[in-house]
Amino acid sequence: MSKKEILSEVTALHRSSSIIRIPPSQDVPMSDRVRRILDSSPLRRLASISQLGMVSLVYPGATHSRLEHTLGVYHNALKLLARFSSTDPDDSFFTSSEAEAFLLATMLHDVGHWPFCHPIEDMRLSGLGEHETRLAEFIETSELKQLIQSDWSCTAADVVALLDFDPKQSHSAGIQFFASCLSSPIDVDKLDYLQRDSLHAGVPYGQNFDAGRLINSMCRHPETGKLAITEKGRTAAEMMVFARYVMFSEVYWHPSVRSATAMLQRSVYHLQKEIDLPSTLKMDDRDWIAMLRRGAKGTEYETMVEGLFGPRRELFKRVAEYSVLQSGSRIHDALARRPYWWLVAASEKLADLVSCETGIEVQAADILIDAPPVKLEVDINVDVIGRDGSVRTLGEVSPVASALAHQQFDNHVKRVRVFVRGGLREVLAQKIESSQWDDWIMQAIGEVENEIV
């Protein structure tokens, strides 16, 4: 991208008269064509979809929208383009058209989301792919396609190529680089959501890294052409990796958050025919919740759904927890990354065992097993380019990152937990020793395995 082709949105970072202000005191510059994208119906829907879903049941301030997050990601993209435009304005590896596609991709990366999208995707239900696979349809069948054609030099296909990137296909250097800027161990998306989620949750964990330093250290990998960082960004990258670890541990996988998530997943799993999930893909939070409550009415899952979205919060209670660091690691290993239908079957077997052994009536819907989903989180090992041109992973130059990378980030922050319906925990505690849960869970696992064989 030559100097004279630097995008007006990038130059507006320092002299724009039109801005949108988002927390925390962040001024996002606007151009007419960007504002038209933000005013479109697909983007306006994001204003009515919560970024964090069930987290607000535990952290009341965490009610920010996906539109706010989108603006933050777009702002990071402008800073990244400004960083490359200032360092090498006349001999760049990307064109202005590719830079425009990148900006559009940051604004449109969440348009395929629907309410509570991520926990439902983790269930891998038939007929529901990941939200990225629907982006092309959302863009092609909405006003976005015409807006791109009339206002931008790239095409809708260029934007989709970045959002649903296929590494098996041949791509230009610019497209390959920008795709990694959208999805990699350190990208413009994570730079925003960690700090924004931390801010709104009212906790400090995700804000203690220098995002500006990271952006200024971003560079192109000399061999792969993907996003990397220079050595001067190493400490900021270490802090971001640790911030992400703690945010998962203390916020995203907080026990009560996971209780609510497990309740949502089980309800959706058993009510999916009543609520017709494919028809919900373009709903906002209010309509989706109303639809789920209607579908649950009169069923055994009505109480569960009302405990999430009704007038009183009534979450299931934790009775057992297992991590890779405890003596219960065998149970963690046995349940982590199992298909969701398998976890439901194990939960039902466990409910039968508890009912039989204690004489207390325990229904199938009274016990939930929550475990790390099949899909792993993105690798944390970004490449670091040394002053001498050497290339090493962050794990190789950082003992902190190395410990997290080699002992599996997911297994440390994502624990296996067993929840029971509120009120039932106290009744069961009078008859059950904690060690008995271990034995019954392993027995339930064995029964499911035997039935599969």
What tens digit of pLDDT does each residue of 386-406 get? 999 999 999 888 887 877 765
CB 95 within 8 A of CB 1: yes
Cα gap 80→77, rounded to integer Å: 5
What's residue 3's pLDDT? Answer: 43
What's residue 90's pLDDT? Answer: 47
**What average pLDDT does this structure show over 32-45?**
96
The model's pLDDT over 54-104, given as tens digits with 9 standing for 90+, comes to: 999 999 999 999 999 999 999 999 999 999 886 655 457 899 999 999 999
Cα gap 394→227, rounded to integer Å: 13
Distance of CA 52 to the CA centre of its chain: 9
The model's pLDDT over 136-186, given as tens digits with 9 standing for 90+, comes to: 888 888 899 999 999 999 999 999 999 988 888 888 999 999 999 999 889
Nearest to 217 by CA among 233, 198, 196, 193: 233
The pairing of strands 227-230 and 391-393 is: unpaired
pLDDT above 80 (res 410): no
pLDDT above 70 (res 313): yes
What's residue 453's pLDDT? Answer: 63
Residue with tokens 């497990």: 262
* pLDDT confidence bin for 2, thresholds 50/70/90: very low
**Residue 275 or residue 107, greater confidence:** 107
Cα gap 78→72, rounded to integer Å: 10
CB 445 within 8 A of CB 279: no
What's residue 201's pLDDT? Answer: 97
The model's pLDDT over 348-357, given as tens digits with 9 standing for 90+, comes to: 999 999 999 9
pLDDT above 70 (res 28): yes
Burial class (CB in 10 A: 0-12, 13-18, 19+), 296: buried
pLDDT above 80 (res 131): no
Pull the structure tokens for residue 448.
């499911």
Phi, psi of 401 (to 5 degrees): -65, -35
Cα gap 294→96, rounded to integer Å: 49
Nearest to 43 by CA among 115, 108, 127: 108
Which residues lie below 8 Å from residue 108, measured CB to CB, with a gap of 6+? Answer: 37, 42, 43, 135, 139, 144, 159, 163
* C-alpha distance across the termini of the chain, in Å: 59
Pull the structure tokens for residue 305.
């759904």
pLDDT above 70 (res 328): no
Cα gap 55→199, rounded to integer Å: 13
Cα gap 407→377, rounded to integer Å: 13
Angle at 98 between CA 197 and CA 29, to 5 degrees: 45
Question: Alpha helices, DSSP H only, in 285-381?
Answer: 285-296, 302-309, 329-335, 340-358
Cα gap 453→448, rounded to integer Å: 9
- Report the b/e string of 247-279 with b at 16+ CB within 10 A: bbebbbbbbbbbbbbbbbbbbbbbbbeebebee
* pLDDT confidence bin for 127, thresholds 50/70/90: confident
* pLDDT confidence bin for 409, thresholds 50/70/90: low
The model's pLDDT over 100-116, given as tens digits with 9 standing for 90+, comes to: 999 999 999 999 899 99
Over the chain, what is the mean pLDDT? 91
| Encoded amino acid at 312, one letter | R
CATH class, domain 3-252, is mainly alpha
What's residue 406's pLDDT? Answer: 58
Size (the chain), residues: 453
